[in-house]
Each structure stands twice: as C-alpha cells, then as structure tokens.
Amino acid sequence: MDNKLVIIPTYNEKENIEKMVRAVLGLKKAFQLLIVDDGSPDGTASIVKELQKEYPDRIYLIERTGKQGLGTAYITGFRWAIAHQYDYIFEMDADFSHNPADLTTLYQACAAGADISIGSRYCCGISVVNWPLKRVLISYFASRYVRTVLGMPVFDTTAGFVCYKRKVLERIDFDRIKMKGYGFQIEMKYHSHKLGCTIAEVPIIFIDRTLGTSKMSSGIFGEAFWGVLKLRFRKIHPA
C-alpha cells in the first residue's frame, strides 16, 4: 500500500486547523498528516496535540521557534517524509483554499505516471473564487512571467497544492533552494523540471480563505520576482 503524507505549514491557524485535519483524515484513501508549526502564538500547536490523542499514528507535529518562512517549513517536512519513507508527499495550505477532496485527484495523477502533480488554478482558464480582480491578475500574470523567463511548461508556477513522488524530492538538493516565501514554490518546480521530472497539472477551484489572516506580503512578492531572474542563470544539479 502506498504511504501518503500531507504536509501543512501553520502559523496562527486555530480557526482552520481542526476542521482541516478532520477533512483530510476523513477521506476514503488513507492519508497521514505532518503539521509544521512556527510557534503560533494563537495555540495552533496545542489544538494539533489534542487531535493527536484522537488520531494516534496519523498526525505528526514539528514545532519550530518563530516564523521562519514557508519554504523552510516545507523543506523540514520533506526531510522528515524522506527519512520516514513516504511514497507520496503533498503540500497543502491549512486555510481551505485547497479542497481536501482534491488530494485524491493529485495522488491519482502521480500514481498514473507523473512525478509531480500540481493543483492548478490556471491550466483550464482561471479558477479562483473570492479573490479581488487585482490579486487574480497579479497571480495569473506572475505565473506567465515565470513561464516566460524560465521556459517552464507549467501554467500555475506559484501553486502551493502539490504532490511529489519521494524519488523527486530525493534528487533535489534542498540546500540550493534559496527562496523562503511563495518563490519557494517556483524554485521547487523549476528544479524538478530541469531534472527531467514529469509534471502534470490537475485543474482545481481555488477558494480564498474565509478565516484567519493571509501571509502574503510585498516582500514575499519581491523575493519571487527577483529570485526568478537569478534562477534563470543558475545551474541545477541533483543531490
């Protein structure tokens, strides 16, 4: 049986985390969860610890000190998943912008032969709900910018809803992943692409969070914009 681990980074997600955990663990195909919490002052980690009592051996928690960035949270989770020999490793947000039911679709795409499957907002037009038009346009054209600069055949380059086969993550040198914010998502896809991995995009409907606070900032956007230009001229080597 394939082992499937969903990694969810958290920072102040007390409004969402219990509902998300129950939604993922309630799916017919068995998934396990790794929560990587960056010292949430709202008590997110305490909620996860209580849920661990109810779901022994299905929920794991890594607590870090302070807000260290999305990218480092996922890399921490990836290293843990590789060490524990999971076959399929997923990235997912805690705020229900990603529908837990779509985890099954991402898994099926990889089980059918893809090395990576992406829950894509833009591979079949634009599938975003509750975002202001300005943010939709920024996100959409940011992905076009990345696709043009890097020559990467991916429509949703900044997507954070992804399934990786373990063999992909084992080939990526995490020490060479430089961006910590949402640019991390671009960098991971680019490294995978340059290593010859097969990437599939699965259409999803992305719904903006209704509870909690967005972590997006102008600094994160700027890191991604300039980071893509630097990435274009960097040589990619397998781990």
3-state helix, strand, coil in the chain (%, to 5): 40, 20, 40
Average pLDDT over residues 87-108: 95
Q: Extract the tokens encoding 29.
A: 């195909």
Average pLDDT over residues 177-191: 87
Q: How far apart are the first and last CA of the chain?
A: 27
Chain segment 197-235, per-residue pLDDT in tens: 999 999 998 887 566 555 555 555 566 667 776 777 777
CB 3, CB 32: distance < 8 Å: yes
User: For all residues of the chain together, what is the average pLDDT?
Assistant: 88
Which pLDDT score, from 0 to 100, does residue 211 have? 60
Spatial separation of the C-alpha atoms in residues 101 and 81, rounded to whole Å = 21
Chain segment 37-60, per-residue pLDDT in tens: 999 999 999 999 999 999 989 999
